[in-house]
Structure 1
Amino acid sequence: MNIFPTFEVIPAVDVQDGEVVQLVQGERGTEKRYGDPVEAAERWIDAGAESLHLVDLDGAFEGQRENAAAIEAVVESVSVPVQLGGGIRTAADARSLLERGVDRVILGTAAVETPDIVAEISETHPDSVVVSLDAKDGEVVVEGWTEGTGLAPAEAAARYADLGAGAILFTNVDVEGRLEGIDADPVRDLVAATDLPVVASGGVATLADVRALREAGAAAVVVGSALYEGRFSLEAASKLDEE
């Protein structure tokens, strides 16, 4: 089952200290704040979002979910599918979230360090795991983008289809949050290396960037700063699929 039957533009709702923020290249201290997570989520749904991308940034850095209350408030207030990442480290954590209304869990560090966790969750919740492969200088990084793994994204992706993953989320840390444009080549390479849908994230600044990622084969694109800064509208980005 393809969890993205048509190309989708997914707004990011990244939460730190209970507020929506956007970081530059994932570094603390670079954040711009955009207010209440529920208000942000509802704004994107009113603008036509078909799903939402939620991240507990404190959880990603600390390894435990620090913004559970804020995230739960978003999940309870929206009627579109939600994918959640940040601080999910065990199959029990993932199942608990899936049973409480989260549609897809995003596993980064846990999936890279213990791939079998993907199979364990997929046994009871098929197609619910999105494996997050974040790359810096062409290498997959974990622990909030602070530790290298020695793995190339295409090499890392190969193992997850057999384990039951529903999709790969690929974030290019080199361009993340800078609003300076994307690099489509790593996305194209990853799409060629796996049969799983690839969700691209990082660096989107213009509608041309969204178009380039779609043409590179991405099944969906997560957009954060560009939407919050009004570089383009979600409606305009979503209509690219009608071209």
Structure 2
Amino acid sequence: MLEIFPAIDLQNGQAVRLYKGDMQNATIYGDPCAFAREFEQAGAKWIHIVDLDGALSGKSENLAAIESIRKSTQLRIQLGGGIRDEESIKRYLDLGIDRVILGSLAAHSPELARSLAERYPIAVGIDAREGKVATNGWVESSSVDALDLARFYAGSKVQTLICTDIGRDGALSGVNVGFSVAMGQASGLPIIASGGLKDAQDIAQLARAFREHSVQGGVIIGKALYEKKIDLQEAFVQTQIK
């Protein structure tokens, strides 16, 4: 079954959504705790949180908001944004975060990320712009091919790859099903598709493609929820459609 991950992106303590990864193009939606409780009431088991300010600075910038979300819900939380050393991982796990996401570290020091995954619950975030990996809050592009990076993590203890097509993120242009499936086939790991999900049909299409290609995983829903393009309870129904 496709796991649903409602998203909360944090900027200056507020829940926001970016457009195609542009930090200067953020729509503010409000209190992140209120959204977390709403997602929980709708039946979510997980939420996906990104500290956008931390992704730029390389350190935690929205700790108070993260702590508040942790205290106000029973949701399982996967968290990314500026987690670039072991101490940061330990700090968040001690706070009660269930899984930490390594993005820039996983791209720049993949062997270290593989090693950390042996000891901690780690997801690797692979953010791609036109097939190439972007890091440090998506502001830095590289020549590293996203599929090659996914292959590096094959056989590792990484729990899942979170695969974002930056060119679709926040654009409601449809999730990149082909990219998500290819990343799953390259790595052999569960895949959480991210970027551009627009409606219930998108979820059904992704779920069908994952089943057809024997890919396990889930999908992150962000702007489509905040803009009420999709009802979260309806999203859960779509994961069951064959």
Matched, 1:110 2:105: yes
- Per the TM alignment, residue 122 of structure 1 is displaced from its structure 2 partner at its CA by 2.8
Partner residue, 1:230: 228
Cα distance in 1 between the residues matched to 2:123 and 2:107: 12
Matches within 5 A, 1:26-37: 26-37=21-32
Q: Does 1:133 align with 2:120?
A: no
Aligned mates of 2:209, 2:180 — CA distance in 1: 6
Greater shift, 211-220 or 43-52, is seen at 211-220
Does the 8 A contact of 1:91 with 1:120 survive in 2? no
Aligned counterpart, 1:191:
184
Using the TM superposition, name which of 52-61 and 109-118 deviates more.
109-118
- Identify the residue that residue 145 of structure 1 maps to in structure 2: 138
Structure 2 unmatched runs, 5+: 211-215
Q: How does 1:31-46 map to 2 (within 5 A)?
A: 31-46=26-41
Please say if residues 41 and 78 of structure 1, whose CA atoms lie closer than 8 Å, have aligned partners that are also in contact.
yes
Equivalent position amino acid for 2:42 in 1: A
Secondary structure of residue in 1 paired with 2:106: helix
Aligned length: 236
Q: Secondary structure at the match of 1:236?
A: helix
The answer as to whether partners of 2:101 and 2:123 remain within 8 angstroms in 1 is yes
Match of 1:154 in 2: 147
**What are the ranges of 5 or more consecutive residues in structure 1 without an aligned counterpart?**
1-5
- What is the one-letter code of the residue matched to 1:196? L
TM-score normalised by the chain length of structure 2: 0.93
CA distance in 2, matches of 1:34, 1:49: 19
Superposed, which structure 2 residues align to 1:55-204 within 5 Å?
55-125=50-120, 128-204=121-197
Question: Residue 22 of structure 1 corresponds to which residue in structure 2?
Answer: 17
Q: 1:96, 1:183 → 2: CA distance?
A: 33
Distance 1:161 1:102 in 2: 25
| Matched-pair contact (CA < 8 Å) for 1:187–1:216 | no
Name which of 214, 217, 220 aligns with 1:219. Answer: 217
Mapped contact 1:170–1:200 kept (Cα < 8 A) = yes
2:199 pairs with 1:206: yes
Say yes or no: does 1:239 pair with 2:237. yes
Q: Deviation per CA, 1:113-169, whole angstroms, max 9, x where unpaired? A: 1123323433332xx111000000111111111222212222101122444211000
TM-score (norm 1): 0.93
Q: RMSD value over aligned CA atoms? A: 1.3
The aligned amino acid for 1:73 is S
| Contact 2:102 2:122 survives alignment (8 Å) | yes
**Alpha-carbon distance, 1:194 to partner:** 1.5
Counterpart-to-counterpart distance in 2, 1:181 and 1:123: 34
Counterparts of 1:171 and 1:119, CA distance in 2: 20
Secondary structure (helix, strand or coil) at the match of 1:116 reads helix
1-structure distance, mates of 2:207, 2:59: 33
2:78 is paired with a residue whose SS is strand
Distance 1:100 1:30 in 2: 30
Q: Relative to structure 2, which stretch is displaced further, 207-216 or 44-53?
A: 207-216
Greater shift, 36-45 or 26-35, is seen at: 26-35
SS of match in other structure, 1:204: coil
Deviations 1:159-203 (A, max 9, x none): 224442110000000111011222221112112112110000000
Q: Secondary structure at the match of 2:167?
A: coil
